[in-house]
Amino acid sequence: MAETEKPSELQKPRHVVRKFQARPQHEGYGAVVRRSIGRFELKYFDPFLVLDEFSVAAPAGFPDHPHRGFETVTYMLEGAVTHEDFEGHKGTIKAGDLQWMTAGRGIVHSEMPAGQGTSKGLQLWVNLSSKNKMIEPRYQELQSKDIACTSKNGVAVRVIAGQSMGIQSPVYTRTPTMYLDFTIKPSAFLSQPIPPVWNAFVYVLEGEGVFGSERSGPVGPHHLLLLGQGDGLEVWNKSSKPIRFVLVGGEPLGEPVAQLGPFVMNTDEEIDRTVDDFQYCINGFEKAKHWRSGALIDLEV
């Protein structure tokens, strides 16, 4: 579709209502992340708690740390990360791979770069409803070759969650979520439906694009764009190079959020109980008492 054509399937395209650039900050053990959701400018964008674009090279990384009450979605862009948890689950997430981890009632794990060079990726934290916060932990993992993808008229998409351009991801999302990785060639145009009641945002990875309105200025890498109300997103690539970005949307939970670092519940009392559970290794954290990852042991040597 040429950039001058108007899509027919969107009755009310979403416009960008807020934009800011994610700036580097230190996290974990010597790692650097660009955090766009979960910092002072944007504490929470229901149902999303955190979005980090991470860049890490050994020996830096994210050694042993806990989670409760939400899901972590790790999508590798370059390099690889080795994951290990106190349940004995271990594996390597390589470029293009996806790990959708439901922490539920409790996980302690480590995430460390594998091999030489710098590993880069995105990690998204998706909140869980009160009825799902204490479910058993679960993993959904897809290798790059198994992620649904297609292309048409200069637009390519990898469907991490949800559906786009007639294809659908096999990932099950307890909190209904869409997560789409788009690459748009010069002069190409995208029209992507989004459920009207969902919150949605764009995070730009490479290149420059025009989002929401053809009269808007181009937006480049490391920018988070919050989208207003509507039934979908329009994007134009008016530059001479491809643009790559992720479009993420989710159904708001509309519940109170109580957060203390890696613990996310609904009330302060539940946070207090979670801290006690972790400290005394009970109610889902029993295996944390005697467990240390291989990565942490190596760091201590």
CA distance 37 to 58: 25
CA distance 18 to 5: 26
CA distance 54 to 222: 11
Verdict on whether the full-model pTM lies above 0.75: yes
pLDDT value at 4 more than 50:
no
Q: What is the pLDDT of residues 126-139, one digit of tens each?
A: 999 999 999 999 99
* Helix or strand holding residue 269 (H, E): helix 268-280
CA distance 154 to 272: 51
pLDDT value at 3 more than 90:
no
* Helix or strand holding residue 158 (H, E): strand 155-161
Contacts of 45 (CB under 8 A, 6+ apart): 37, 199, 201, 226
The DSSP result for 17-49, as a single string, is EEEEE--EEEETBTEEEEEEESBTTBS-BTTEE
Which residue(s) pair with 65 in the sheet?
Answer: 109
Q: What is the pLDDT of residues 152-164, one digit of tens each?
A: 999 999 999 999 9
Q: What is the pLDDT of residues 75-123, one digit of tens each?
A: 999 999 999 999 999 999 999 999 999 999 999 999 999 988 999 999 9
Structural domains for the chain: 16-250 (2.60.120.10)
Q: What is the pLDDT of residues 145-193, one digit of tens each?
A: 999 999 999 999 999 999 999 999 999 999 999 999 999 999 999 999 9
Q: Where are the alpha helices (DSSP H) in the chain?
A: 268-280, 294-300
pLDDT value at 65 more than 80:
yes
Give the three-state DSSP class for 280: helix
**Percentage of the chain surpassing pLDDT 90?**
91
pLDDT value at 6 more than 50:
no
CA distance 297 to 292: 7
So what's the pLDDT on residue 12?
A: 94
